Amino acid sequence: MDFPAIVSDALRSGIGPIAAVYALAAMGLNLHFGYTGLLNFGQVGFMLVGGYGLAITVSTYDGPMWLGVLGGIACAIVLALLLGLPTLRLRADYLAITTIAAGETLRLFYRSSWAEPVTGGVFGLQRFANDFYALSPIEPGTYGVWLVRFSSRDLWVMIVGWALVAAVGGLLALLIHSPWGRVIRSIREDEVAARSLGKNVYAYKMQSLALGGVIGAVAGMMQAIQVQSVNPDNYDPGVTFFLYTLLVLGGAGRILGPVVGSVLFWFVLSFLDSALRQAIDAGHISPELISTSEVGAVRFALVGVALILLVAFRPQGILGSRKEMLLSGR
Amino acid sequence: MRCQRMLVPVLTLVLVMVPAASAQAQGEEVPRGPTFAARALQALIDGIQFGVIIAITSVGLSLIFGTIHLINFAHGEFVTIGATFAFFLNVSPAGPGWHLIPAALAAVVFGALLGGAVERGVWRPLRARGTGLINMFIVTIGLSLLLRHVVLVLYGTRPASYAQYDIQSALDLGPAGITPRDLTVTLLSVLVLLGTAALLQKTRIGTAVRAVAANRDLAEASGIDVQRVVLFVWMLGGGLAALGGVFFGLVEIVTWDMGFKLLLLMFAGIILGGLGSAYGAMVGSLVIGIVAQMSTLWFPVDLQYAWALLVLILVLLVRPQGILGRAERVG
């Protein structure tokens, strides 16, 4: 077993571009779930419209990249209105069902042969972020210390990604401690009480859904930029479930919860992945039991177990407070 | 409110139709074979067949919601496990190679046991711990991930069919046709639904289920053993889901993620019919099945599941309590 390689994989994944993207998307989800108590199971849908908004503008219509970013954000707001208008007046469970269904339906629409001339269908769209990489001040080459090395491209995405995480974190911290944030949290604690004090609960929920959705869309754009491609099958509901796992792990209802959760989640996931593959290659685990191609599935199953155990035994995660996370459905 | 009702369809158009419409302009013409009436009749038959299968799987989901207010996002996995367990007994070289009928019965028993085991092993302890309902929704997501990927490791990614009743020629019904297999599945599904309705309406345990769904506290105070009723509902839901899985695998194909795909349609069906009502789930699922199949008359086949969501959003706007649900004031 090559331990330095395993540690290197895990460290690179824990601080890499993907961890930044997931931290960002989970921050949007944290605003929904952690602060407002909205059970959004379709965060991946916001990531999808963000990524595709950018890709379609640049790739299909030859527009400039800044317009694509605006387009992605506009799509996220439209999606939030579309989901929120029918469901936010109803009980929490309706939002949960509608969001999970909407995420999956958007994926079906974008991958259908019908939409193929615009979205690229099952093939997706590629090479739309050249402008982003042209802005990079970093000389080509690889950079790093000890076991951790990144290419200049990944480094540039990482810098922008984590800078966005810091900026969004700062913005959310200010918002949450403003009067607006206090209303949002009071909705999570007791919606009826907030309403009886004269607050327009519906409008606040809608603002929270739209803002968190826009953050998710920005995360989707970073993800699309990082691999220079969008493909509908990268936006399956499993992404949302990953986001929930790392949010609960880090601590929902805390600004740093998604960041800590994302770094730790990707570190552990890559560590397991790499260790399992090496153990199978070295013959420590019989290929009859788990073959290398099944490692991905085993990984997902372990995430499921982790999610169940976390919610059952430590719903507040690492940073959260238990008192705040005993939510009941309303 | 009035302007909001207008806004949602318009926004849907913006998000989905506009890119797709410009795509349509360049798209190819749909090939036209038989007359429109014949194709519509065929789609209706397919839709009814599809709808009753969704109905079988969604009755349990709706009853579980009715009794403990939990949305079981892992219900689709019960469907997959039923279908793949029957596949293991029927086709798999490692299995005993039974005929499909005993294999299907065994799968139903296995599904019921699995439902009971999940209730005893996961939900009852969690309720005893006082875990919040929203947290329980997240646990069902975790359970869904776990079960789905265990199936993936055991079953693999390759779609497959059962050993019997695979290829049949269609019975000619004038302009449309149906294979004996599909006809049998449809009739059996209707029988199972009628049986479930009779069970709920006539038997002691069925009455108890309806009582718990109507008012849990009152039922408990009247001496009904609520824990036992909940266990029964989970076993009934698990068994029916497994049967639906076998039927779906029989008329379509067995895959490791079939249940998760059906889950969207089940949700649309139970919300259309009214969350928590067993009969609503049956009616709603039938409508959803017909909508999904009839949509292929005008729209591409790969979008047929997506129309279910449109129905779902329209229902939430116009009549959120569903066709058979009771309006209930919240907040």
Q: DSSP characters for A284-321?
A: SS-TTTS-GGGHHHHHHHHHHHHHHHHHHH-TTTTTS-
Cα separation, A63 vs A47, whole angstroms: 20
Q: Which helix (H) or strand (E) holds B178?
A: strand B176-178
Give the residue from chain B lying closest to A244, CA to CA.
Answer: B138
Query: Chain B partners of A329 at a C-beta cutoff of 8 Å?
Result: 69, 132-134, 137
With tokens 């939900």, the residue in question is: B123
Greatest Cα pair distance in chain B: 66
Check if the interface score ipTM surpasses 0.95: no
Measured between alpha carbons, how far is A170 from A76 in angstroms, rounded to an integer? 21
Residues of B with CB below 8 A from A312's CB?
126, 129, 131, 139
Q: Which chain A residues are closer than 8 Å to B130 by Cβ?
A: 326
Q: Nearest CA to CA, how far is B66 from chain A (Å)?
A: 13
Per-residue confidence (pLDDT) for residue B11, from 0 to 100 = 54
CA distance to partner chain B, nearest, from residue A16 (Å): 25
Give A26's contacts in chain B (Cβ within 8 Å): none
Cα separation, A57 vs A217, whole angstroms: 15
Give dist(CA B135, CA A327) in Å, integer.
Answer: 7
Q: What is the pLDDT along chain B (331 residues), one digit of tens a residue?
A: 444 555 555 555 455 544 444 444 444 444 556 788 888 888 999 999 999 999 999 999 999 998 988 989 999 999 999 999 999 999 888 888 889 999 999 999 999 999 999 999 999 999 888 888 888 888 999 999 999 999 999 988 888 889 888 777 777 777 777 888 889 999 999 999 999 999 999 999 999 999 998 888 999 999 999 999 999 999 999 999 999 999 999 998 999 989 988 998 999 899 888 888 889 899 999 999 999 999 888 888 888 888 877 788 788 878 878 777 766 654 4
> CB B279: neighbour CB atoms within 10 A?
19
Contact B215/B149 with Cβ under 8 angstroms? no
Task: Specify the residue for token string 């997506």.
Answer: B306
Q: How far is CA A86 from CA A26, A160, B305, in A?
A: 24, 36, 20
In this prediction, residue B24 carries a pLDDT of 45
Query: Hey, is the C-beta of A286 within 8 angstroms of any chain B C-beta?
Result: no
* Range 154-173 of A in CB contact (< 8 A) with B: none
* Chains A, B: CB pairs < 8 Å: 195
Neighbours of B107 (CB within 10 A): 27
Please list, in sequence order, all residues whose beta carbon lies within 8 angstroms of the beta carbon of residue B59, skipping any fewer than 6 positions away.
Answer: B193, B196, B237, B240, B278, B281, B282
B75 and A CB contact within 8 Å = no
Residue with tokens 């207008």: B6
- Which candidate from B23, B71, B267 shows the least CB-CB separation from A116? B23
Taking CA atoms, what residue in B is nearest to A117? B23
Q: What are the structure tokens assigned to B311, written together?
A: 């129905």
Round to whole Å and give the CA distance between B282 and A145. Answer: 61
Using an 8 Å CB-CB cutoff, list chain A residues near B145. Answer: 238, 241, 300-301, 303-304, 307
pLDDT digit string, tens, across residues A63-117? 899 999 999 999 999 999 989 988 888 877 888 888 988 898 899 889 888 888 8
Per-residue pLDDT, A288: 72
**Which residues 121-150 of B have a C-beta within 8 angstroms of A?**
122, 126, 129-139, 141-150
Interface test with A, best of B68, B144, B149, B275 (most A CBs within 10 A): B149
Is any Cβ of chain A less than 8 angstroms from the Cβ of B12?
yes
Element containing residue A151 per DSSP (H, E): strand A148-151
User: Which residues from chain B sit within 8 angstroms of residue A294, using beta carbons?
Assistant: 152-153
Sketch out chain A's domains with CATH numbers. Answer: 3-325 (1.10.3470)
- Does the distance separating the beta carbons of B309 and A93 come in below 8 Å? no
* The predicted structure's pLDDT at residue B27: 43
Residues of A in contact with B62 (CB under 8 A): none
**Burial state string for B9-18 with b = 16 or more CB within 10 A and e = fewer than 16:** eebbeebbee
Domain segments of chain B: what residues? 57-156+191-318
Hey, which residues 151-180 in chain B have their CB within 8 Å of chain A? 152-153
Give the type of residue at B266.
M
The amino acid at B88: F
Q: In angstroms, rounded to a whole number, what is the distance separating the alpha carbons of residues B241 and B58?
A: 7
pLDDT score at A223: 94
Say yes or no for a CB contact (<8 Å) between B331 and A327.
no
Inform me whether the C-beta atom of residue A112 falls under 8 Å from chain B C-beta atoms. Answer: yes
Hey, what amino acid is at A84?
A: G
List, in sequence order, every residue forming a beta bridge with A151; answer none if it has no partner: A142
- Centre a 10 Å sphere on the Cβ of residue B224 and count the other Cβ atoms it contains: 19
Tell me if A51 sits within 8 A of A278, measured CB to CB. Answer: no
A90 touches chain B (CB under 8 A): yes
CA distance B54 to B47: 10
Q: For residues B88 and B326, what is the distance between their CA atoms, to the nearest angstrom?
A: 42
- Tens of pLDDT along A173-184? 999 999 999 999
Q: Which residues of A touch B17 (CB under 8 A)?
A: none
DSSP single-letter state for residue B122 = I
Determine the residue of chain A that is closest to B70 in CA distance: A93
**What's the CA gap between A116 and A119, in Å, rounded?**
5
Contact call for B8 and A244, based on CB within 8 A: no
Contact between A101 and B12 using a beta-carbon 8 Å cutoff: no
pLDDT of residue B109: 97
pLDDT for the residue B12: 53
A221 near A71, Cβ under 8 Å? no
Residues of chain A with pLDDT under 70: 323-330
* Residues in A touching B19 (Cβ below 8 Å): 56, 115, 118-119
Residue B156 neighbours by CB under 8 Å, 6+ apart: B256
pLDDT the model gives residue B49: 93
Q: Which of B4, B146, B300 sits opposite A85 (nearest CB)?
A: B4
Q: Pairing relation of β-strands A142-145 and A148-151?
A: antiparallel
Q: Hey, of B118, B122, B138, which one would you mutate to test binding to chain A, going by the most A CBs within 10 A of its CB?
A: B138
pLDDT by residue (tens digit) across A141-159? 788 777 788 888 889 999 9
Nearest by CB to A102, from B138, B146, B309: name it: B309
Nearest chain B alpha carbon to A82: B8
- Count the neighbouring beta carbons within 10 Å of the beta carbon of residue B2: 6
A233, burial (CB in 10 Å: exposed 0-12, middle 13-18, buried 19+) = exposed
Q: Determine, for residues B316 and A94 on separate chains, whether the beta-carbon distance falls below 8 Å.
A: yes
